[in-house]
Structure 1
Amino acid sequence: MFALEHSPRHHAGTTIAGRKSDDGSLAENSYPTSNWRGTSNKIIYSSTRTKYQQQPIPSTTLPIAKMLHLIGLGLSDETDITVKGLETVKKAARVYLEAYTSILLVDKSVLENYYGRSVILADREMVESSSDEILRDAQTLDIAFLVVGDPFGATTHTDLVLRARELSIPIRTIPNASIMSAIGSTGLQLYNFGQTVSMVFFTDSWKPASFHDRIRENRTIGLHTLVLLDIKVKEQSLENMARGIRIYEEARYMTVGQCCRQMLEIEEIKRAEGEGMEGVYSEESLAVGVARVGGRDEKFVSGTLKQLCEADEVLGGPLHSLVLLGRRTHELESDYVREFAVDKELWDTIWKRDYEGKQ
């Protein structure tokens, strides 16, 4: 494909690319054409005949401007980074790894060996309170900010971009897979998902239930709900924070089992408060627990919420997520997910009773 532009300068009887033979005719390899000339590959014009001189198309790779680069790493290991992302990391003056909204399944040292670069861990305190250090010299140097999954999977990263804009620092985003897209590997169709919700660790005095309203809205129109589970990395207890003691809690990762137990606890509270006898979900609601999606040892388990309360040993280590099935689940989705079922006979019974043909 050639990009052509009108050329009013050329006149009939002239030949730019070719040469005329002694008798005045055009040299061989000249071709008839109209009043156009090439601007991409070097196609030379003649109003009567033209010789095409095709030259190599120049590379479309542009020099990378000095800026803040937000780079998605994908979900699993060091090899999930895109080619574009890896090239940027290798050229960057400094490389930060955001290390608290999610984790990769490999250590930082593995990334450093693969990238051939040192990597600076950016914890919550650095990103949220000391972003000036991350953005330092970003007008004159390339700074890479690595994020597990996709760069905008957490609102914290949007805040970092807004602060960079205030400093007139150019931004570049290099996307990657996230749990929001990779959850399709369960066999559930992505366009059948409603709002995504988050489940945090409950305490004796704090049991937020806002997720319950979002699930209710999804259920009303029959859509699946993806539940993202809490992680605690390098965080302080409320007591230590109040005392100003910089002692960090041991890292914790919520499991599917704990998520299901908390969901059922809130459902029981809501029913006791008189929010309807039917409720939003129950112990027999069908769901899928997933672990380490995208990894070599990813694991899926499907069953009722009650069954998944006891599925942690089968699912194994972090990171876990949960999908609560909507009533509009397609038969093909059910057939796919059924293969992971704890009890296929029970799955079939509940599917036919509560889901099949429901809208």
Structure 2
Amino acid sequence: MLTFVGLGLYDLGDISVKGLNYVKNADAVFLEAYTSRLMGTDVPGMEAFFGAEIRVLAREDVEEDPHEILDRAAEGRVAFLTGGDPMVSTTHADLRMRAAAAGIETSIIHASSISSAVCGLSGLQNYRFGKSCSVPFPAKGWFPTAPVETVTANLALSLHTLVYLDIQKDRYMRVPEAIAILEEMAEKRGVEPPALYVGIARAGSEHPVVRAGTGAKLKETEFGPPLHILVVPAELHPMERDYLEIFAGL
């Protein structure tokens, strides 16, 4: 049995009671640590909380060589932990399909997700979001512009864009960096950069930071520690504008 267990947004208090009970009674516990991370705890803290040893997985462990996960799930109860909600990431959907192909029973225990938390924190209406995108750290000889193309296409349809920021082993992209990269992408593509952004830091914590404004304004804003996420809003509904003025300093 392979059960995908969402951990929620920020710390150990975000997991559901159902998820907690499953993890405590699992025969093996794996933690996927490359799509998102809980910044309000760490692996030793999780092991103490769950009373279980946790095997931390890199991307290649899940996408290229998941035999250890599947072998253990064929024999007993396996908890596959993820930040946020488990099935927001396509890499997890792929693992579930591999398990099904191997005749392994699967299930999902959902949790809070950044995709819904952003709406609550920003006041941007969830049905007005278009395709999301991710901004990676540029590398030598590699500077993709697909993210700004997604943003531009959404804006043409009056849709907001949720922009995920790169997470690497030893660094986390922050809102000011992401805006600077998007502006450079816009310049390379010969399009106007977005006029308005909403930056959010540490969603799910007791004191998240939510700020709205121009690129120039948010690049000078101190958002504090990660994780950060960015939204490029389309034309605002009056209620969205009022919400951002009250809660995000627009």
Alignment TM-score > 0.5, same fold: yes
The structure 1 residue matched to 2:139, chosen from 203, 216, 239, is 203
Runs of 5+ in structure 1 lacking a partner?
1-66, 234-250, 272-278, 348-359
Matched, 1:230 2:170: no
Alignment TM-score, normalising by the size of structure 2: 0.94
For these two proteins, the number of residue pairs brought into alignment is 248
Q: CA deviation at 1:333?
A: 0.9
The structure 2 residue matched to 1:264, chosen from 157, 179, 183, is 183
Q: In terms of mean alpha carbon deviation, does 260-269 or 129-138 score higher? A: 129-138
The structure 2 residue matched to 1:92, chosen from 1, 19, 26, is 26
Matched, 1:107 2:42: yes
The structure 1 residue matched to 2:223, chosen from 315, 319, 329, is 315
**Letter paired with 1:270:** R
Structure 2 residue aligned with 1:337: 244
Q: CA deviation at 1:280?
A: 4.4
After superposition, give the CA deviation of every residue in 1:143-167 in whole Å (9 maximum; x if it has no partner): 1100000111222212211221221
The structure 1 residue matched to 2:69, chosen from 92, 110, 134, is 134
CA contact (8 A) 1:215 1:280 kept: no
Greater relative contact order (Cα < 8 A, sep 6+): 2
Structure 2 residue aligned with 1:252: 171
Alignment TM-score, normalising by the size of structure 1: 0.66
Q: CA deviation at 1:138?
A: 1.7
Distance 2:184 2:207 in 1: 31
Q: CA deviation at 1:132?
A: 0.6
The share of aligned pairs that are identical, in percent, is 41
Aligned pairs for 1:1-359 (under 5 A) are: 67-105=1-39, 106-184=41-119, 185-233=121-169, 251-271=170-190, 279-282=191-194, 285-311=195-221, 314-327=222-235, 329-340=236-247
CA RMSD in angstroms, aligned pairs only: 1.5
Q: CA deviation at 1:203?
A: 2.3
Q: CA deviation at 1:87?
A: 1.1
Distance 2:141 2:219 in 1: 22
Q: In terms of mean alpha carbon deviation, does 72-81 or 120-129 score higher? A: 120-129
Distance 2:42 2:33 in 1: 11
Distance 1:126 1:219 in 2: 37
Runs of 5+ in structure 2 lacking a partner?
none
Say which one has the larger Rg: 1
Q: CA deviation at 1:340?
A: 5.0
Q: CA deviation at 1:227?
A: 0.5
**Letter paired with 2:8:** G
**Letter paired with 1:252:** R
